Every structure is written in structure tokens, then in C-alpha cells.
Amino acid sequence: MSGGGNGGGAIAATSGGGGVPVLSAQGLGRTYDGYIALGSFTVEIEAGEFVALIGPNGAGKTTFLNLAAGLLDPTSGGVEVAGEVPGSLDARAALSYLPDSPVFYEDLSVAEHLEYVAALHGLKDAGPRIDELLERLGLEGWEDALAAELSKGMKQKASIALALVRPFKVLLADEPLDGLDPPSREVLFELLAEIRAAGAAIVVSTHRPDVIAAAGRCVAIRDGRLAYDGAPDPAVLEQIFDRSELEGGS
């Protein structure tokens, strides 16, 4: 799998061309036994954008992220990552996915996970980036720990480190602040700002007002369909959703 060449940079992101979508969905749909999880969904996201993906529980946000990541096949329409089909080697190199539930190998330590992901994406010297993420995310001293030894919050921080350790053009994150304490949330916001400044697009599924406010664009899904695409204006969003819907989760 291709990914990056040099590994020691402070920001694990690769820049993309301005004005060219790095994530594009056209009429994207996914059904399950007649149930429309996502229906005719169209959106284009450019390099350097920070997009908050919002909507009530079960709206279709995670379905969209899984389709974009190549974890699901669409039943209609299509999606491209940096011009490539999700799941292809080039698309996997261009996209990093932070799922809502961290996934680890039982027999690998935190450091071994990071080294494995870095090697998988061709980083020749990932040591400085790994050390930086461990320090900033408060994982120092846990390098040799297995997943079973980590708390929920520590697992989330390790999952964030795995998503950010290598270069990418698009970051998809599903409720990334869940399980984090306030200082760790601040660190994540700092990391996201650095990634965006380096040119990567960020799409975060969230119900948190602070994430929505930090985003430059808000894409809202309701009942599997696009309900809003524009600036994160609270007054407009409250006309579309009840407050309880936005605070209800993913």
C-alpha cells in the first residue's frame, strides 16, 4: 500500500489541489432489505476543508463514512476519494479513518500498532511522529501496553494516534471526542487545525457544539438524505433539527 515517503514530519497530512474535490459522493445510496440508510446523497469536499457531519441518531452519518472508507458497498450512486474508488490501494493511502469504536490487535502494543501502520504506508522513519503523538496525547508510559490494559479514554487516544501517524489527504472521524477528557479534547482540536493547515480535508461526524463551531462547513443528514450544506449557523440548524436530535449522538 502506498502512502508516504519521509516519516518524521510534525504533521501527518499531504496537501491536495485547491478547488478539486478530494472526497466526492454523487447520488450515493445504501439500503438494507428495503430500509434506506442513505439515499441519493451528493456532496463534494475540497482539500483543507473542515466539515462537521451532523444529524440525529440513525440519520446515515456513519453509513456515509463507511461507504467513503470502502467498508461498505453502495447500492446506488458512487463515491471517490482523491479520484479513486474507496477500498483501492490509492484510496486507502489517501484516506485515514477514525471509527467510533477503536479496533486493535490483541497481541500488539500501542507502539507496535503505530509502527505497523506507519510501515504499512511506507514511512521510512516514523519514530519522531510516533513520539510526538504519544507525548501530545498523553500516551507516554503506555507504549508497551496492550489494548486490554487501556481504559476507554486511553483506547480512544491510541486510536487517534493510529489515524494521524501517517500522511493522508482526507481524514474521516466518527465522534472522535467521545471518551476524551477536556485536556485531550484541546489537543485533538490542535492536531485537527494542524492537519487542515497542511492541506488535508477533515470530515467529523459529531453532535458536539464545539466541533460544529470549529468547522468551516456543516453537512446535515436526516433520514438518510441531505438536509443542509452550508455554514455552521446555529439558528439555521435549529430550524431543521430539534436540539434533542443534535445532542442525541451519531
pLDDT digits (tens, 9 = 90+) for 107-153: 999 999 999 999 999 998 999 999 999 999 999 999 999 999 999 99
pLDDT grade, residue 13 (50/70/90)? very low
Instruction: Please tell me which residue, 240 or 156, carries the higher pLDDT value.
Output: 156
Give the integer Cα–Cα distance in Å for 42 and 38. Answer: 10
Give the integer Cα–Cα distance in Å for 212 and 209. Answer: 5
pLDDT grade, residue 250 (50/70/90)? very low
pLDDT at 248 exceeding the cut of 70:
no
Among 44, 40, 39, 109, residue whose Cα is nearest residue 80: 44
> Which structural domains are found in the chain, ordered by start?
21-105+168-246 (3.40.50.300)
The burial of 245, by beta-carbon neighbours within 10 Å (0-12 exposed, 13-18 middle, 19 or more buried), is given as middle
pLDDT digits (tens, 9 = 90+) for 28-70: 999 999 999 999 999 999 999 999 999 998 899 999 999 999 9
pLDDT digits (tens, 9 = 90+) for 18-32: 467 999 999 999 999
Among 65, 51, 55, 136, residue whose Cα is nearest residue 100: 65
Question: Running DSSP on this structure, what letter comes out for residue 179?
Answer: T
